[in-house]
Structure 1
Amino acid sequence: MSAPLLSIADLKVRIRGNPQARLLRGVSLSIDRGETLAVVGESGCGKSLTSLAVMGLLPDGLEKSGGVIRFDGADLPVTDNEAMRKVRGRRIGMVFQEPMAALNPVFSIGDQVAEVIHEHEAVSHAAAMARVVDLLTQVQLPEPARIIHEYPHRLSGGQRQRVVIAMALACRPDLLIADEPTTALDVTVQAQIMRLLHDLQDDMGIAILLITHNLGLVAQMADRVAVMYAGRKVEEATTRMLFAAPQHPYTRGLLAATPRPGRRRPGEPPLTEIPGVVPAITEMPSGCRFRPRCMLASDICALEDPPFVDGVACHRAVSRELVP
């Protein structure tokens, strides 16, 4: 059996100079070539931070304090910015959350996409621009020969997102990290963007790490799902198994909070919410971090953080008390 394309083992990230302020607490994930792994959870659970750690783009003041990140069989030099410049864009592409923030307003679309190509390949400007037109065609933008001369503010949100995808795919990477790729887009455009990513994956054979709040997208796109809470993975399963028989109370809460128009049972409330909020890094509870919000919490949950066993980190699930 071949090794995973991307393997993250026991990844830890903390605030520099404060060992107790742990933002990621031993995250382990893997993704195979051509596979889609979705990482889900509420805002603040560590999804985007995990992807930034993989790209070597941690914000100032944060540092990787433990763990190993391997890509295509070799350690990824995430703390060496010059070495990572050879990987970013060429081997690993990333679609950031907000396309307007990811594009420079003073440069044309063509120049911005071509810059990715020039960074990694010795090609003429004319050849790079011809590639850009092909890329914009590939992401289904109309009139690509015209759009290369446009500026970001002249495009719609969906068009800008397609440009960001084109930039991420410019050098045909092996892995695409898509961080909330449909944020702020209407439902119709969301569907178009996800269909586009699916078609591009089939065509190019890339792996996709999909970070999202949208469980509907997860059901359509992902092969496997990892659920994160308060900087830790609390459950992982195939998409089919996770939706059919979620094991962690947090996962069950996320699924219950998903709108299901026309599919509610008689007497069922229109929407269920998980009480409380993700705890601040300075106010983490003892034991299981989800304990204050969990309807199934017991004494042991306050004493120790549950180990990750058989795809779930939950004392009740481990002891077989949590049944579908």
Structure 2
Amino acid sequence: MTPFSYARAGDSAEALRLGAVEDAAYLGGGTNLVDLMRETVATPTTVVDVTGFADTIVETDGGGLLIGAAVRNTALAEHRTVRTRYPMLSRAILAGASAQIRNMATVGGNLLQRTRCAYFYDTDGSLCNKRSPGSGCDARGGFNRIHAILGASDACVATHPSDMCVALAALDATVHLQGNGGRRTLPFTELHRLPGDTPEFDTVLDHGELITAIELPAMPFAARSTYRKVRDRASYAFALISVAAALEIEGDRITDVRLAFGGVAHKPWRALKAETVLRGGPATEAAFRDAAIAEFADAKPLRDNGFKPELATRTLTAVLMELTGAPAGAAA
């Protein structure tokens, strides 16, 4: 681990001052940052502890929720309002890690965790444009079972690892930010970047900018929502495919829907094409499958992950059938 200085910020103003120096990093739970520092993937010269900041979950005037960036993942998953109004979010968090990690991890830190691509972590010999810009991408011709099939580039095929972020993308969340230039908000779906030619940048945050909160809008039909994660083993594995879905049905028609996928792209993937296909149409297995096919029409699988489009189609179909109340196993 590269030597660094440590400071615990008393408030956001102090955090921004400390975080403005070159190569500074904010420390939430540290469940990803510390690992990256141990592997010398991340080498901050200054680590600014922001765990003492807002860790409250409060209802907004509009009927949504404002979630402080320092809220622990366990507290968010167990919050009664989250479990009843936004069950997909609670289930996504519980699918994401062990209880010990959830007890440490913070909401803000979860948003900023980095890819689990093995080549990104291998500092001893693997080429990785995300870790060392311009060096190459060994994942493209290497073992790429978990890698991206949407939105990738010649420079990077890594996937975003977070489960919680997939649910937040589906829920139309807003990110509250504070920087030395003031405060701003950002739609959650605009926070993370696709790799393009600069995969070393995961988000659109300015240097030193601090995530202060996540806001969920009032979305009554999100009470009928869920999250499903498909992985190689039941624990300590990242998603091959995951689906966050909320469905509103009147009669036999879909009046509204929110969908997002994990395990398919460099960022949580909001499935806008599939939503458009479904909205106003019938709530049938055939319609669900057609929507998934439309979403993955432009997928570009790699050598080892050609199964992902069909797996994503089957998973989305099964999840939406579950939300309609169809018997278990009605969709393969």
Q: Which has the higher helix share?
A: 1
- The higher-RCO structure (CA 8 Å, 6+ apart) is 1
**TM-score of the two chains, using structure 2 as the length reference:** 0.26
**TM-score of the two chains, using structure 1 as the length reference:** 0.27
Larger Rg: 1
